[in-house]
Amino acid sequence: MATKIEAVAINDAALSVRGLTADLPKGMARAHAVENVSFELERGQILRIIGESRSGKSVTANTIMGLLPKIIPVTSGAINLGGTTIVGAPEKKSRQLRGRVVSMIFQDPLSALTPLMTVGEQVTEVMAAHGVGTKASRRDRALELLCPTRNSCISSTPSGFRVVSASDIQRRKDMSVMFIPHDFGVVAEIADSVVVMDKGRIVEQGGADQVLKSPAALTRSA
C-alpha cells in the first residue's frame, strides 16, 4: 500500500494525531497495529491512553517518538507535534525532537535508567545532547526537576511516586503529557482526558471524568 501522509492544519493542540494507521506484517491476527487513530493532546494537559495488551498503545507512542520498527509501517495519517509534522520525518528530525520537544518516560525504572550513572547525570545528559545550557546551568535545572516536593511524596508505591512526581513536574513546567499506565489504580485520578483503545482502534475518548466514571466501551465489550 502506498504511504499517504497528509499535512495537518496547525492548531493550538500540543499534539495532534489524525487518522493514524500502521500495518502489521502479513499473517498476523489483524491487518493493522493501529487503525484510523485520531486524538489531540491540549497544551498543559494530561492524556491517558488505556486498553488491553496489544491494543496499540505502544505503537501509537512509538510513532510519535519516531521509534516505530520498520516492520510496522505507517500507511496513512498525520501527526503534528508543536507545529511540526512528524510522521515520515527523517531520522535526523526525529532525533532533534526526541528528548527536547517530546520524551518518553518508561514506567519500569530498570529499563529506563542505567545503574552506572546517577539520575542527575542521566537528566543532564539529555540537555547536553541537545546543546542546552552550560554544565552548571544543566545541573541547576536537573536539581530543580528532581528535588522532591511535598506533593511528590504522597504515593506509597515506587510507580506511584514516579507518576505523582511526573505530574508535579508537569504542572510546574506546564508540560503536555501523554500517559500510558500499566498500573491502573495508581494513576486513576491523574488525567484530563482519556483515550480507550481496543484491537488497534479507539473505542472511546473524552474527558477523564466522563470516560472513567461511565466507561461505555468497556461495559459494551464486557
Ligand X SMILES: Nc1ncnc2c1ncn2[C@@H]1O[C@H](COP(=O)(O)OP(=O)(O)OP(=O)(O)O)[C@@H](O)[C@H]1O
> Applying CB under 6 A, which residues contact ligand X?
24, 33, 51, 53-59, 69, 71-72
Residues of this chain, 56-95, that bind Mg ion according to CB under 5 A: 57-58
The residue (of 72 and 145) whose beta carbon lies closer to Mg ion is 72
Cα torsion through 178, 72, 26, 218, rounded to 10: 0
| 107 near Mg ion (CB under 5 A) | no
195: CB partners within 8 A, 6+ apart: 39, 47, 48, 49, 50, 202, 204, 205
- Do residues 203 and 196 lie in contact, with contact meaning Cβ atoms separated by under 8 Å? yes
Phi, psi angles (nearest 5°) of residue 144: -60, -40
Residue 54, binding choice from ligand X, Mg ion, none, Cβ under 5 to 8 Å by partner class: ligand X
The residue (of 127 and 179) whose beta carbon lies closer to ligand X is 179
- CB under 5 A: which stretch of 20-28, 52-60, 189-197, 198-206 binds Mg ion? 52-60
Residue 212, binding choice from ligand X, Mg ion, none, Cβ under 5 to 8 Å by partner class: none
Rounded CA separation 89/102 (Å):
14
Residue 45, binding choice from ligand X, Mg ion, none, Cβ under 5 to 8 Å by partner class: none
Binding residues (CB under 5 A) for Mg ion: these are 57-58
